[in-house]
Amino acid sequence: MKPFLEAIDERVLVCDGAMGTMLYARGVFINRCFDALNLTEPDRVAEVHQEYVRAGADVLETNTFGANRIKLRGFGLADRLREINVEGARLARTVAGGQAYVAGAMGPLGIRIEPWGKTGTDEAEAFFREQAEALVAGGVDLFILETFRDLNELRAAIAAIRRVCDLPVVAQMTIEEDGQSLDGTPPEQFAPALERVADVIGVNCSIGPAPMLETIERMAAVTRARLSAQPNAGRPRDIEGRNLYLASPEYVASYARRFINAGVRLVGGCCGTTPEHIRQIAIAVKKSAPEVARAAARHAAAGHAVVPATPPGDRPVAVVPLAGRSQLARALADGRFVTAVQLVPPKGFVGDAIVEQARALKERGVDVIRISDGQRGARMSALSLAVLIEQKAGIETVLQYSCRDRNLLGMQSDLLGAHAMGVRNVLIVTGDARTVGDYPDATAVFDVDSIGLTHVVARLNHGLDIGGQAIGSPTAFHVGVQVNPGAEDLDSEVRRFAYKVEAGAEFAVTKPVFDAGTFERFYRRVESARLPIILGLWPFESVLNAEFMANEVPGVRVPDSALERMRRVESPGAAAAEGVAIAREVGCALKGLVQGVHVAVPSGRIEAALDVLAGVHAAA
């Protein structure tokens, strides 16, 4: 057989269809590791390959889409990574013989990498590299990187392969029906970026043939790269509890001809496509052979569309100066000591009582209200309460925004909405990984952590969305992050703080601090960042509350001396007063190191918060 790139330049090649769909149809449950079947049920995998070869596929993808260390770790199979990939390549090679090329299939890691996640690009490259090395050892002819939503991650995978070998690389993004990647990057942006690093570029999965054709045409308008298209067999439909793909082989094949006319050189299928779909596609490709040369000529004659020398997402914008973003930002920029009190969203939708509390705090000289996010039960959203308080109480808020149970695009939309309604100060937190609210069967989901979301907000402040597209006027968020001086692993906490600063953090708020020594140890490690830090204080309301904080709240460090003081008091009133006294003492001791104090109060006792603030204000 000719080298893959020579063959694809001479004629349109047909790729196979969905391995997962075929294995599922053979009784493999979706909760199993499909990649591990290369070792446990190799005959079943080989049968699928054989069906695709008989259907006319020119390219077989190895059964290794998820066979990277991160995904295999979830099945307890990380130590068998090399075996799974080598055997996956060997199985496909045995079936292909001299009739088809073998493509090492590699999918995304299943985690977020920088700038959206805590995994570095270099770490991601290392994960991809070990999979690529194993596939090369198994004897692949090329690589197909598919179903990537993040252009950064896809480029990391390509870089990893280039470090291993010089085999051809097909790089495919997955898209929504509007043609943009799942993270919002348009084809006009990802196509030229991929053309510079891959041999064939294209799209696969997520959508059916019709919207994919529109995306291919948009890609063809901005690049002369070889193109690939592997659509799903339409959108899945729920039929008696099963997700089924109902686009017929003939329908999918009709679009294969349209793909070819748009310049596609590699056409196949993704989820829901079967050997019959591939058989019909292969027939369509053969019938289209006379049209292929004409389509290639048209494509070459059209040339590249004019792409701006500076893409919209790279054009400079007038970033709003820090001191002009909010009253809090100006106060911190001017070096003024600030005060804040935390209020919790109410149950239900009536927020009048909380608004009155905010109004009272403003009258007593409090600078801002922090609105906590992620409480249990049916409560008003933190964003809604922040807007109510700013509009009705006339005091600025700091909106705590948690990454938990929100996807990246949804968070971006929330934040743009918050900005439109006047919210400027945001405190970004990852959120707790636990069962949610009063519903024990609900589990926490994280798309990105606080570092990734800080990157998102920083980009919005520069007029860019997460896909790199211009949003018009830049936002003017004052970006805060949470830090934990009492973290069990202080090295990790300091490292994450540095990442947050690099991502664009402009101030920090600590978790509750109960002794000065804990904060001082942390402060010595981060002082060089010169980021304003607002100290978190929590006045105990009872002995039980103190013991709860000491024993049941992760990451909180309560010294034995504070617990002993709380245990010595005899009445509820005296316990509350002692809790205020302890918080005051910590605040006074650290006042010279921080730029403000934030008080969270149990049970909404704002008088306790005001007592703490009065004591700190009075300190020299």
At residue 15, the 3 state secondary structure works out as: strand
Which one-letter amino acid corresponds to residue 47? E
What mean pLDDT comes out for the span 238-258?
74
Cα distance between the two ends of the chain:
84
At residue 88, the 3 state secondary structure works out as: helix
Q: Where in the chain is the domain with CATH 3.20.20.220?
A: 337-618
- The pLDDT of residue 430 is 86
Q: Where in the chain is the domain with CATH 3.20.20.330?
A: 4-305
- The pLDDT of residue 64 is 97
To the nearest whole number, what is the mean pLDDT of the chain?
88
Q: Whose CA is closest to 462, among 449, 477, 481, 452?
A: 477
Tokens of 418: 């918050």
The pTM (predicted TM-score) of the whole model is: 0.73
Q: Which residues contact 7 (CB under 8 A, 6 or more apart)?
A: 1, 13, 58, 101
Q: Whose CA is closest to 71, among 40, 109, 37?
A: 109
Q: Which residues contact 322 (CB under 8 A, 6 or more apart)?
A: 329, 333, 478, 506
Tokens of 112: 């977020």
CATH class of residue range 337-618: alpha beta
Question: Most distant CA pair in the chain: distance in Å?
Answer: 94
Q: Which of 108-112, 156-160, 346-350, 445-449 has the lowest mean pLDDT?
A: 445-449
| CA dist., res. 234 & res. 247, Å (int) | 5
Whose structure tokens read 């058989």? 279
- The pLDDT of residue 171 is 98
Q: Which residues pair with 252 in a beta bridge?
A: none
Read off φ and ψ for residue 14, nearest 5 degrees.
Answer: -105, 125
**Residue pLDDT, tens place only, 135-146:** 999 999 999 999
CATH (one of 1.10.1200.10, 2.40.50.140, 3.70.10.10, 3.20.20.330) for 4-305: 3.20.20.330
DSSP 334-376: TT--EEEEEE-PPBSS--HHHHHHHHHHHHTT--EEEE----S
**Cβ distance 139 to 170 under 8 Å?**
no
- The pLDDT of residue 349 is 86
**Residue pLDDT, tens place only, 527-574:** 999 999 999 999 999 999 999 998 888 778 999 999 999 999 989 899
| CA dist., res. 71 & res. 65, Å (int) | 10
Tokens of 406: 């929100």
Task: Place 499 in a pLDDT band, splitting at 50, 70 and 90.
Answer: confident
